[in-house]
Structure 1
């Protein structure tokens, strides 16, 4: 640059010399002195300016060269600033160029960058001072380190407009965005606009860079994982972001056309205004392969098709709905529903969230002859029929937990469920019990029934009903107000004939139970309880004709329990000591009438009666005539036994008041109130912004309707609801973006 300025200085001096010569000729001699001084000063000024320009130029060149060199080295990306030479003074409004910040570049996962004293870990973003879109504007996702950043910023505030761009948002918003990125992009309180700014970069990397950088495809698994993570945090907060994230995931998961995708578990896509492309591809893949639609894919179709309406039970009891749906589906279709191949082929176009894509042609995916069976109404109706049947079965359970949410996994809730939704461990209990008895700790029974909350006596009746539904009984019984067995304490389960109800505890049953307890307790106390006593008591129970079969089974279970856990004789005597002498004699007579089967007692009966008399402190044996009369005086027997077996009633359990169950109103039958066929046409049209007329021919042929008539109905329905047409034009046919936006908003709300 100094050499280029020397000719300019020479020309300037030559001009000054010529002017001086002319002045000397024209001016009088007296003025020559002052004129010569002026000419010399002008020449000196020209030379000084030219020289200073030559010396400053190399500094600016060095700055530009250094910046270019830094841009060529990805590893040098970072916030270093260049210090200009001391002779250079720039106006305060002009920023010094930043070394290393050339064209925007993708920062890979795991690499950190810093800007405005904020370190951003993790990568997966664009960084630099220039990243053009197709129309020459700066891509909104680019983090430009030359932009002003405020000292503070709140990423929970709503200070972002529509279509945010890092270059155009305020300095405070930039600080907020950088803080959100530095925090790991995980704070659920963040304004979703900042999430979109980051998401724009993922869209660009996945869909635009692939054109010139085939290796960018290696980032797809990382991008997919990150979008799933963001969807889990922010999808519920923003239906619009949920739809955008779901669309990108669907696109990346199927664009390589994986084979036999119908065998894989369906990812947890959110429900949006259209059936996910992944599911449509998997359904078509199954049809082409000639295999039935598997149950897990049918379930995903049922839950994610916007034209399959899930009512409150299916939403409130989602896990139980899933299990019951698959059971019904298997019963109705065996290994799966078989669907014929239709004429409509699967196509898809991507509607980007980033404004950096505006004006670009649509990204389209064609899948050859792969059919799109989601446009067919018959298969969907079969899915709807199963959904309705399952929902009806779940209604009692849904209402129960709507009133008492704590009953979701309780015994009370279990009683409202279909048997095939009971825990497998509970359903297997009858097989474990068999025809005999099953002795187990009480806590194991509760574990089999998946009871996770503390068990109190007020839940005893529910436990009895649950066991009865399994054709089982239990000893000891837990009734409201009775003692609850400790977790390690043994209980005895026994089989009951199907349909048999637990008989109420009659006086004879209570007398028999007390006799067993007294007899076993006394025998244990005397050290004379063994197999002979057990055999005798068993035969006695079966010989007590005053008891029905249900009572006899229960007493046999109690006998089995008493073998392991005999009742303390002292505790029984303490209860009986509260009776007066007349009542004790009366009770002795009652038990004698039960235990003595014949007219005269056998030696074994006499031995047991003696133990009972001893426990009751009765001196003489009851008169046989009195025994005969007692068998008819059941009311007196009941009153006496009630004083022995009664327990202090606990205070009633007061449940917290709950709001009455709210059932969501039934949605309209189809999109815009249309029937199933025209709803299918509308859904297909919404998947793209423009269609050729011939592309829709197969769709209407599959549905057996006319295209012009279908478009007229769609436009009339749209105008009635939104005041605007659904489509414009005859060929091509353009779908109204405003109508699409309203429909997607309604589906997400």
Structure 2
């Protein structure tokens, strides 16, 4: 049976005065801080006062008054759990001669006034040595049910000195020990913000649990929670004893004990997910532990034995605890303090658990009340879904399956609204990334993924939802081949869209390109197909591509040239718009545009309409022959140049015609000045730029409005202006971000140029 050792089983009356004096740390604290650092504590919730019992005078009392008895001293009636009477002498050395905890009824008590701040209290107060006004304050605190946390904590310590003496020196019955432990726990919670209270009362509770642990099963949840609640800078002694006892009894540790050991260990490395998502972290830790150690974790027996000496907070006594374990309680308890291997194993499990909870934790950091929402639940590791179920998540799965079956094109706003429970005014990268991650954890993908796409979908644009056939925890982990293929796909669809229509042959060629991509996983191939579907629905434009093209190194130029040329050949007819589009790409890559014709010359494409065979007389209609396959040969570069020249000539003629109509409605001098300052732009685009540079940002609606005033379509105007800005300043004038941000460097240069023209 564990308990006090023979040499300290009652009371070690300390013969050595040094042991009865404050510790060196406490002496230094007094010198540094003067007043007891225990003196600053905010108020705590009160607990109900026990029902009144018959009180008795303290005149004839001597010794301990149990809980349940009420006494009256100096007109104050209060509950027991105190020593009353003439205080016994503790030693003959003059320091703390009289027992501090005894309430001596013969001493004077101030009839008025109080000292709630404890100005008259010493570091180790004793009822017999504090001033009468402090005795009055102390008795008032007792009469109030010991519930006031706004008084100096020294009054609480004066009461606590009696509790620790009664428990460790008098060795009361087990029932009374439980009452004392419960009261100390209440006081510890009452003064929760005071460091000294937490330290001294925590140390007492540690030894009190060990003394009582002989009859307490180690799997008692209350024991484990109490250990966790009282952790500090070192392993709680009660935890050391429990762990050592399990080793001594040849018991394997389960996940809960290893988790508790790690949580209390001074060298633990815990990040935010372990604290913010405590329950989820503990559950995931257990799942991983059980998978690794289905029979529990066996730990070697340390040579060092556990020993404990308790020095009373009152400094009046010390005692040692005899620690044994085993069936007959005759086996020494080993000391686990220096064991490293179990903690290293626990830390590895913890690191993996925290990594998997990281996104869930970040979501809760942004949405403190978001636990249980669809997005939060979807970000929770799939292994925990059974332990933390969500009906909303099941509804989301059902809805997503229906959308995929219907083709997979879903408004981006609807996806985000379902995730967040409300419709945002605009879509940001964080929202879209969260939606993609949430869907991936229920086995579905979303294209585009804002981490890799050239831009995310606008609020009025769709996204593509598709079946991943598996849950994915980390969508951000992709191969370099996937990134390259995704960019090539964007370029290829840009070319395919150049003539404003995409025929089936081009779609088939783009799908074949995805299938032919090497160095990617099956999952990445699915994601490429979904992104292709989105690119076909939401065409890329040059403003997306230009910055990325400038970053491409020469080594990859050939692959990009092959991709765009192959797309141009896909439908067997090369349009002039496709040629112009490829020229833009080559220029952005820093490649001579003249190479376009040489590259296109790699395959012969018939120039002219496809001949349709005439139907026979008896046929009810005409049958369209299959599309001809591209033949290897030569491409008539002169014909392509002629088409290109004709296109430019017609565009210039039409531009002059429209310009003539507009000149009548414009201020001729101002228009001339603009066209001079903004050489390379027609008057419509020049007038638009003149408006744009007056502000730093335009919403999409505002940009569409001022473009419309000039008779321009917003998308075409954006591309034309940015093309011109790149030619002139090697930078886009407009950057798409929450509308359109205007480059201030370009704006200042243009305003300066236009002001010269006005002069």
Instruction: Pick the TM interval, shorter chain.
Output: 0.3 to 0.5
TM-score by length of 1: 0.46
Q: From the CA coordinates, give the structure whose radius of gyration is larger.
A: 1
